[in-house]
Amino acid sequence: MIKKILSLIFSRENLLAVLLCLILIALTIAAADTSPSWIYQGF
Protein backbone atom coordinates (compact mmCIF):
# COMPACT_ATOMS: atom_id res chain seq x y z
CA MET A 1 0.00 0.00 0.00
CA ILE A 2 2.68 2.53 1.00
CA LYS A 3 4.90 1.40 -1.85
CA LYS A 4 2.10 2.10 -4.31
CA ILE A 5 1.56 5.58 -2.88
CA LEU A 6 5.28 6.32 -3.03
CA SER A 7 5.46 5.12 -6.63
CA LEU A 8 2.62 7.51 -7.48
CA ILE A 9 4.31 10.45 -5.73
CA PHE A 10 7.78 9.72 -7.09
CA SER A 11 6.80 8.94 -10.64
CA ARG A 12 9.14 9.82 -13.48
CA GLU A 13 7.13 12.88 -14.50
CA ASN A 14 7.02 14.24 -10.96
CA LEU A 15 10.75 13.75 -10.48
CA LEU A 16 11.47 15.54 -13.76
CA ALA A 17 9.20 18.42 -12.75
CA VAL A 18 10.91 18.76 -9.36
CA LEU A 19 14.33 18.59 -10.99
CA LEU A 20 13.38 21.28 -13.50
CA CYS A 21 12.04 23.47 -10.70
CA LEU A 22 15.25 23.08 -8.69
CA ILE A 23 17.35 23.96 -11.73
CA LEU A 24 15.29 27.11 -12.32
CA ILE A 25 15.64 28.12 -8.68
CA ALA A 26 19.41 27.53 -8.79
CA LEU A 27 19.73 29.60 -11.97
CA THR A 28 17.71 32.42 -10.42
CA ILE A 29 19.90 32.47 -7.32
CA ALA A 30 23.10 32.34 -9.39
CA ALA A 31 21.92 35.14 -11.66
CA ALA A 32 20.84 37.31 -8.72
CA ASP A 33 24.22 36.95 -6.98
CA THR A 34 26.28 38.37 -9.82
CA SER A 35 25.90 42.08 -10.42
CA PRO A 36 25.47 42.99 -14.09
CA SER A 37 28.79 44.69 -14.76
CA TRP A 38 27.82 45.56 -18.36
CA ILE A 39 25.42 48.21 -17.00
CA TYR A 40 28.28 50.12 -15.35
CA GLN A 41 30.73 49.95 -18.27
CA GLY A 42 29.66 53.30 -19.67
CA PHE A 43 30.20 55.15 -16.39
Q: Which amino acid is at 3?
A: K
For 2, the enclosing helix (H) or strand (E) is helix 2-9
At residue 4, the pLDDT reads: 85
At residue 37, the pLDDT reads: 67
For 15, the enclosing helix (H) or strand (E) is helix 12-33
At residue 33, the pLDDT reads: 65
pLDDT digits (tens, 9 = 90+) for 5-43: 878 777 889 999 999 999 999 988 887 766 666 667 766
At residue 8, the pLDDT reads: 77
